[in-house]
Structure 1
Amino acid sequence: MTELVDQQVPTFPMQRTCPFSPPAAYEELREQSPIARVLLPTGRHAWLVTKHEDVRTVLADTRFSSDRNHPDFPRLIELPPDRPMFSPSLISMDPPEHGPARRAVVGEFTVRRTRALQPRIQQIVDESIDAMVAGPRPADFVQAFSLPVPSLVICELLGVPYADHEFFQSRSKLLITRTTSAEDRFRAVEEVRNYLDELVTSKEHEPTDDLLGRQVLKQRENGTVDHAGLVGMAFLLLIAGHETTANMISLGTIALLQNPDQLAIIKADPSRTPDAVEELLRYFSIADTATARVATADIELDGVRIKAGDGVFALSYAANTDPEVFDDPDSLDVARGARHHVAFGFGPHQCLGQNLARAELQIVFDTLFRRLPDLQLATPIEKLTYKDDAVVYGVEQLPVTW
């Protein structure tokens, strides 16, 4: 067993220098030091895990805690000592609380439930394309299409009035940007939670036929309504449910336009689109640092001793470009069929909304390139601005024409 001592260590996070490639240091670390100690912006140290097998091991082992309120949880921003404490959402729960909380809502995201939503998703996609085509050219694809589609889907699913989408989109941008000040970040958290607190209260008074309304009724049948828990769940689903899918729509569109041979495959045979979606998810791995954990016991991993209280980042992008698992991992291959990527995480905390995200992406890419076969970028790709300072990677604007 190896126990590393203090030494010169690299800093983390490491920026992508190209939207189509992970940080160069990932490959070096995976080959030379697959479990490496790094220095965080907070001045604390943590471990980076970069091999596919090790990443899956960390994410499946409940001794690596997801509790964001743990004093040793690895953070990329410093939190003020007097920060408000909120009820934990699913993403920050550990056993035994996590299992029952997840089971209570997982029925809303099954394959069967998602299949029932597909006609409405298709309608939303078509209407968004109609609106974009009716507007000026070039259009900002992000504002005209990538954001509205998943935002409307998640709003309707939760029972959030879509008229308020600009409010929560502006706050979510502050929350996922690492350079946001602590003051602005917690103001944004408080504003969104206050909004959702009022929304959940309205559902308690008059349950509606949406996810939050159904959860209220289900909890009443079991005895009592966990108001704070519903607010926390709504917060997580609302922020994550549109931001991640929106960025994947934009980046996936760029990648397919830049790789016309790959786009031709799904244009010729839409039955190949599901595999293309999986490959795009693997290729970009946009939530690379979302799988942070803290060890709650001394654990040996691949010959390295990780002590209780040590922070760990199990890097999905490094895992998804591991050449021991994916041949020629830096190439986009929509026929790869590699469904064992970890873009949605792995283990107990694997993304709750992955079936919904897959359905949205499949419908988007099939419909977009069928209806706008001449879609093209209106700005050279090297002039686009990417979200290098965000927890969820993406592109700020995407001018397109057709």
Structure 2
Amino acid sequence: MQPGYPFHSQFLRDHHEEGQFLTAMEGPEHLRLRRMIARPFTPRKVEQLRPTVQQVVDDHIDALLAGPNPADFVADFALPIPSITICHVLGVPYEDHDFFQHAIRTMTGSDVPDEAVNKSQSDLYHYLAKLIGRKLVAPEDDLLSQLATERLATGQLNRHQLVMLVLFLLISGHETTASMIALGTLALLQHPDQITVLKDSDGPEVAAAVDELLRYLTTVQPGRRRVAVEDIEIGGQVIRAGEGLILPEEIGNRDESVFPGAGELDLRRDASQQLAFGFGVHKCTGQPLARLELQVVFAALFRRIPTLALAADLGDLPFMDDGLGYGVKKMPVSW
């Protein structure tokens, strides 16, 4: 890690400096580890998950309709769906979600005491290490079992590397998608004329609409962090070698030269160049899965609950801006 690299939290500082997260790696080692985890996230493999994701979404819509009205859309719908899905892919027991969600939010928060961060980190690390041990003895059809039996057992990974890979996937695989589900629904409720695009369309139209929501609502707010390796001038601003840079994706996603009227939500727009998942060699490995989840959610939600409405004033909603991503902590809805 280059000196001068800017960090969002102490946890990320610790593990980026040690080169333990994919986002902190470059070159052959980054490519080697990325290839190891890529298998379940290829478009073909992800498409095979569509019936599973559809069932999870339908079950949660059923539960929402059968439960209290109003309901908390985040706790009852937006957060469980990606959590269940990534647990299914990884092989992490979903029944432990309260534990790992709390630990991850503590570890990645920007204003959390070091003692709390260290405890959550230790607890989650040992939880995953024990889970890896169980997968070695009794492997199942999931990514963690595959990595344990094919990579750990053969010496291609050590146990620490495997724990950090799974931790990285668990962190990145649920909260950002949950935030997009909640924020996307909120944006659509604020733009009801756009909902018909999702209700009356299928396939490519829904996929394009999801791209526009991803562009309009970039949830990874801390931005890509890099260190300049040489002097460069951008837009009249000279950046010196060794200076830390924070590159927010939302700036690119609101670039008027690429997306005319970028401040407006338009689900019929071609937003295929959106940067919510990054770009190049560090583009999000799991983005095909996130896209699938969002497509299934938004295609089903407003068809099955056409009267869905926000059950609180927009200004009263508690927004989350102290973690890796931007989102809504709680969102009362009615129907």
Same-fold status (TM-score > 0.5)? yes
Cα deviation, residue 162, structure 1: 0.8
Query: For residue 22 of structure 2, what is the amino acid of its counterpart?
Result: L
Cα deviation, residue 93, structure 1: 1.3
Q: 1:191 and 2:123 equivalent?
A: yes
**Whole-Å Cα distance in 2 between the matches of residues 110 and 353 of structure 1?**
8
Cα deviation, residue 224, structure 1: 4.4
**Whole-Å Cα distance in 2 between the matches of residues 203 and 249 of structure 1?**
31
Return closer, same or farther for 1:242/1:77 CA change in 2, 3 Å cut-off.
closer
Q: 1:339 and 2:272 equivalent?
A: yes
Superposed counterparts of 1:21-40, under 5 Å: none
**Whole-Å Cα distance in 2 between the matches of residues 375 and 212 of structure 1?**
38
Return closer, same or farther for 1:290/1:211 CA change in 2, 3 Å cut-off.
farther
Q: 1:276 and 2:205 equivalent?
A: no
Q: Verify the 8 A CA contact 1:377 1:400 in the aligned structure 2.
A: yes
Q: 1:116 and 2:51 equivalent?
A: no
Cα deviation, residue 367, structure 1: 1.0
Q: TM-score, normalised by structure 1?
A: 0.78
Deviates more, 1:198-207 or 1:259-268: 198-207
**Whole-Å Cα distance in 2 between the matches of residues 277 and 318 of structure 1?**
18
SS in 1 for 2:27: coil
Partner residue, 1:264: 196
Q: Verify the 8 A CA contact 1:278 1:338 in the aligned structure 2.
A: yes
Q: Out of 187, 191, 196, which is 1:255 matched to? A: 187
Query: For residue 259 of structure 1, what is the amino acid of its counterpart?
Result: H
Cα deviation, residue 205, structure 1: 2.5
Cα deviation, residue 138, structure 1: 0.6
Partner residue, 1:165: 97
Q: Verify the 8 A CA contact 2:78 2:181 in the aligned structure 1.
A: yes
Q: TM-score, normalised by structure 2?
A: 0.93
Cα deviation, residue 187, structure 1: 2.0
SS in 1 for 2:245: strand
**Whole-Å Cα distance in 1 between the matches of residues 13 and 147 of structure 2?**
33
Return closer, same or farther for 1:84/1:193 CA change in 2, 3 Å cut-off.
farther
**Whole-Å Cα distance in 2 between the matches of residues 221 and 115 of structure 1?**
29
Gaps of 5+ in 2: none
**Whole-Å Cα distance in 1 between the matches of residues 15 and 256 of structure 2?**
42
Q: Verify the 8 A CA contact 1:74 1:311 in the aligned structure 2.
A: yes
**Whole-Å Cα distance in 2 between the matches of residues 176 and 277 of structure 1?**
26
Superposed counterparts of 1:1-400, under 5 Å: 67=1, 70-77=2-9, 88-219=20-151, 223-271=155-203, 272-295=205-228, 297-302=229-234, 304-400=237-333
**Whole-Å Cα distance in 1 between the matches of residues 179 and 13 of structure 2?**
32
Query: For residue 200 of structure 2, what is the amino acid of its counterpart?
Result: A
Q: Verify the 8 A CA contact 1:138 1:399 in the aligned structure 2.
A: yes
SS in 2 for 1:270: coil
Return closer, same or farther for 1:284/1:83 CA change in 2, 3 Å cut-off.
closer
SS in 2 for 1:97: helix
Q: Deviations over 1:239-282 (max 9, x none)?
A: 11010000000000011111111111221223321111001111
**Whole-Å Cα distance in 2 between the matches of residues 390 and 74 of structure 1?**
15
Cα deviation, residue 290, structure 1: 3.9
SS in 1 for 2:147: helix
**Whole-Å Cα distance in 2 between the matches of residues 237 and 82 of structure 1?**
18
Query: For residue 327 of structure 1, what is the amino acid of its counterpart?
Result: P
Cα deviation, residue 183, structure 1: 2.2
SS in 1 for 2:49: helix
Cα deviation, residue 79, structure 1: 7.2
Return closer, same or farther for 1:182/1:365 CA change in 2, 3 Å cut-off.
same
Gaps of 5+ in 1: 1-66
Query: For residue 215 of structure 2, what is the amino acid of its counterpart?
Result: R
Cα deviation, residue 120, structure 1: 0.4
Q: Deviations over 1:160-197 (max 9, x none)?
A: 01110010111122233212222222222222111111
Return closer, same or farther for 1:81/1:287 CA change in 2, 3 Å cut-off.
closer
SS in 1 for 2:327: coil
Higher normalized helix content (fraction of residues): 2
**Whole-Å Cα distance in 1 between the matches of residues 150 and 219 of structure 2?**
34
SS in 1 for 2:28: coil
Deviates more, 1:218-227 or 1:274-283: 218-227
Return closer, same or farther for 1:375/1:159 CA change in 2, 3 Å cut-off.
same
Identity of aligned residues (%): 42
Return closer, same or farther for 1:84/1:382 CA change in 2, 3 Å cut-off.
closer
Q: Report the RMSD for the aligned CA atoms in angstroms.
A: 2.2
Cα deviation, residue 382, structure 1: 1.7
**Whole-Å Cα distance in 2 between the matches of residues 88 and 333 of structure 1?**
39
**Whole-Å Cα distance in 2 between the matches of residues 352 and 80 of structure 1?**
19
SS in 2 for 1:121: helix
Q: Deviations over 1:18-41 (max 9, x none)?
A: xxxxxxxxxxxxxxxxxxxxxxxx
